[in-house]
Chain A
């Protein structure tokens, strides 16, 4: 497999230049959809493969620090999923390359002329990733813990580098740099470090962790729901909790990373920015808002249900109502479109497509305020969950709690004040407000966590956590989380790619194929949804394989 990949990557330029055809057809669905689906599948598996080592190593490190064997076992179990997903990623990667070379030879020839210098390092990095992954997996418990952990760290570093190289190719297509007016290469580093490269790198690393956490959570949910013993249920309940925790921690900074990427796209080219946020693709951001809302609701819901298995957490149950009301209001603001679909009569009453009252909720000031408050609310849910069975015993417990509440109120006040003030200043100032808004929320989360750590040092416990006794509904929330993440990645990936419209490389290589049109939103979302279904079909197969490998040998059973 690796050899095939290596040969294909290195021989790509030569293969691509053969013949004079610019495009070849793919039967039934056409070349664009074929590439779209395979690229998306490759990306989804790739995201999982890159994300799992990040938190497997973290969990392994926690096991080393605490001496708790459960962490080590959990990290090992996550890594077992990884080895299976890794080969699937490579297969889709090879398929993608085959199909690109076959279906888009001229475009691939151009891309090779720009990036051929990166191909050999990519292959070498890929080899490095494979070797370190297999040593990491098969060396479990056999190498010294420190050496093993170091290999895990190396695996992550190489994995991220692999991603960054591939990101250079794909971001160059959106925001080309390092070329002259004729499109010829001038400086390969400029082509790599094009305007959207670093924003994508950051966005993808964070999103991969969130996605990987949610898929690991889905794996735990799948096993929880089919578990036969209480021990299994307890184990997978705990694993699901960790998966959800990882997903939420990464989800919280994700909107900021997305905002940064969007801002860079806008700064690179106003046309693409308007097409994305105000033009044909803006509808997809309404769909995105609904899906992100589902993510926040599912993550909170999981924590609330989880509180039922914590002895002593009953005292926090009344708070759920208020957190939910706040989340719902923020979600409604987040999803309110700026200009609305309305009947003729409705638009006449509104005096156009903009509602005179709700129109104010359709702009970025309101959206940023809503999402920051949703993040704060989710953090409060997590904090209450964490405190479920703990009672602070330090002398300054009361003042500590008051300080925490003051920090939350202060951060919310800053977010709301800047959100409202944003309507009274010009756009360039308003865009700048997003930074202190985010800063206030991050500050609140860090400060409250630090206070909490000291507040609950040597605390009194009111009871234990009854792992395995969580409602099955919580597991469906975990599955929803994984599906929503996958859907979002497909949807937003399409937006990022579709923004180029009739260009392979924006403003440089024009798409002259029969597919050089933007598909309808309905069609695009269907393709994304079918891809998500295919991904989950493969994933269930991998989950099943993972369980199969755990089973006793057939002879031993009989």
Chain B
């Protein structure tokens, strides 16, 4: 009797293999740029586990799934395929082990970037700034004095295009002239996953202290960002922050009322 489930022509084990291969091809080629292998591996693990749960959630289906495997491993007439499997499988494992160890000479992979946690307070040119509670001194002008607010945004724009554009790019997308000389490339500030997730005080800290001011935890950091406190004053930093949000049409994170 053919190996079937629910009257379908294809054996269960082949159905499983097909779905697994199909899911791999779909995830591997339908998403561009390609999904990093670390994430793809995790996705395929979930797909594999789910397939096994589906197969084994029904006794008959599970028996159908196992039958060809058990036959291959035990039936007298399958001696030759068994011998082939017994030879090829260890060789395959050995090859995978070898391939895993024998890697091309290449720069080390990019570890997952974590958001650096800010300190509770910083010293800015002798002035203590509480990073947890500090607010942009010009933010309130947006409602109260829109014209004055636009002036501060314009000043921030000036600061940006004189200092930041070279790395963060004309449209703040992290693709400035120098960007591709850096690894990792500068943050894409237009991405809703960057500055929109953060409070303005956080940005103040990152701009003021730059790469050298990143916290001890989570080291080593990879950041070419200079400590801008050496070149900009406090107002200029707050103004450039206004510009970053204004240009990208985003809002800083704030606490719920």
Decide if A337 touches B118 in the complex (CB within 8 Å). no
**Cα distance A355–B112 when bound, in Å?**
12
Q: Which of B34, B53, B187, B199 has the most CB of A within 10 A?
A: B53
Residues of A within 8 A of B131 (CB): 270-271
Known: A344-B109, A350-B36, A352-B174. A320 touches B50 (CB 8 A): no
Decide if B58 touches A308 in the complex (CB within 8 Å). yes
Decide if A473 touches B197 in the complex (CB within 8 Å). no
Decide if A426 touches B196 in the complex (CB within 8 Å). yes
Decide if B184 touches A352 in the complex (CB within 8 Å). yes
Decide if A341 touches B111 in the complex (CB within 8 Å). yes
- Stretch of B41-49, B144-152, B230-238 with 4 or more beta carbons under 8 angstroms from chain A: B41-49
Closest to A307 in B: B57
> Is A332 on the interface with B (CB-CB < 8 A)?
yes
> Is B38 on the interface with A (CB-CB < 8 A)?
yes
| Neighbour of B218 across the interface among A280, A297, A349, A427, CB < 8 A | A280
**Cα distance A344–B106 when bound, in Å?**
8
> Is A358 on the interface with B (CB-CB < 8 A)?
yes
Closest to A321 in B: B54
- Stretch of A57-65, A155-163, A323-331 with 4 or more beta carbons under 8 angstroms from chain B: A323-331
Residues of A within 8 A of B256 (CB): 428, 431-432
| Neighbour of A426 across the interface among B36, B37, B46, B253, CB < 8 A | B253
Residues of A within 8 A of B39 (CB): 336-337, 340-341, 355, 358
Mostly, the A contact residues are: helix
Distance to closest chain B CB from A374 (angstroms): 12
> Is B115 on the interface with A (CB-CB < 8 A)?
yes
Q: Which of A278, A336, A349 has the most CB of B within 10 A?
A: A278
**Cα distance A358–B253 when bound, in Å?**
22
> Is A501 on the interface with B (CB-CB < 8 A)?
yes
Closest to B60 in A: A308
**Cα distance A271–B110 when bound, in Å?**
25
Contact flags A264-298 to B (C-beta < 8 A → 1, else 0): 00010111101100111011000000100100010
Q: Which of A327, A328, A345 has the most CB of B within 10 A?
A: A328
> Is A197 on the interface with B (CB-CB < 8 A)?
no
Residues of B within 8 A of A337 (CB): 39, 112
Known: A279-B218, A341-B110, A471-B59. A269 touches B184 (CB 8 A): no
* Total A-B residue contacts, Cβ distance less than 8 Å: 175
**Cα distance A118–B57 when bound, in Å?**
52
> Is B163 on the interface with A (CB-CB < 8 A)?
no
Decide if A278 touches B109 in the complex (CB within 8 Å). no
Total number of B residues with any Cβ neighbor in A under 8 Å: 61
Decide if B33 touches A279 in the complex (CB within 8 Å). no
**Cα distance A301–B50 when bound, in Å?**
10
Known: A358-B35, A426-B253, A432-B256. A270 touches B109 (CB 8 A): no
Contact flags B204-238 to A (C-beta < 8 A → 1, else 0): 00000000000001100000000000000000000
> Is A305 on the interface with B (CB-CB < 8 A)?
yes
Mostly, the B contact residues are: loop
Residues of A within 8 A of B111 (CB): 341
Residues of A within 8 A of B184 (CB): 347, 352-353
Contact residues of B between 129 and 175, Cβ < 8 Å to A: 131-132, 174-175
Decide if A327 touches B36 in the complex (CB within 8 Å). no
Contact residues of B between 183 and 211, Cβ < 8 Å to A: 183-185, 187-188, 191-193, 196-197, 199, 202
> Is A423 on the interface with B (CB-CB < 8 A)?
yes
Closest to B43 in A: A332
Closest to A358 in B: B35
Decide if B113 touches A353 in the complex (CB within 8 Å). yes
Distance to closest chain B CB from A295 (angstroms): 13
Contact flags B107-127 to A (C-beta < 8 A → 1, else 0): 111111111111110000000
Residues of B within 8 A of A351 (CB): 33, 174-175, 185, 188
> Is A338 on the interface with B (CB-CB < 8 A)?
yes
Decide if A473 touches B56 in the complex (CB within 8 Å). yes
| Neighbour of B197 across the interface among A308, A320, A341, A427, CB < 8 A | A427
Distance to closest chain A CB from B237 (angstroms): 18
Residues of B within 8 A of A305 (CB): 57
Q: Which of A321, A471, A507 has the most CB of B within 10 A?
A: A471
Known: A279-B116, A344-B183, A428-B253. A308 touches B31 (CB 8 A): no
Decide if B106 touches A353 in the complex (CB within 8 Å). no
> Is A518 on the interface with B (CB-CB < 8 A)?
yes
Known: A308-B59, A350-B33. A335 touches B110 (CB 8 A): no
Distance to closest chain A CB from B175 (angstroms): 8
Distance to closest chain B CB from A83 (angstroms): 37
Decide if A426 touches B251 in the complex (CB within 8 Å). yes
> Is A363 on the interface with B (CB-CB < 8 A)?
yes
Decide if A327 touches B114 in the complex (CB within 8 Å). no
Decide if A423 touches B37 in the complex (CB within 8 Å). no
Contact flags A305-328 to B (C-beta < 8 A → 1, else 0): 100100000000100110011011
In the complex, 22 of the A-B residue pairs with CB atoms within 8 angstroms, ordered by the A residue number, are A270-B202, A271-B118, A271-B131, A272-B117, A274-B118, A278-B115, A279-B114, A279-B116, A282-B114, A297-B53, A317-B58, A328-B47, A332-B43, A341-B39, A342-B110, A344-B106, A344-B108, A347-B183, A358-B31, A427-B196, A427-B197, A518-B217
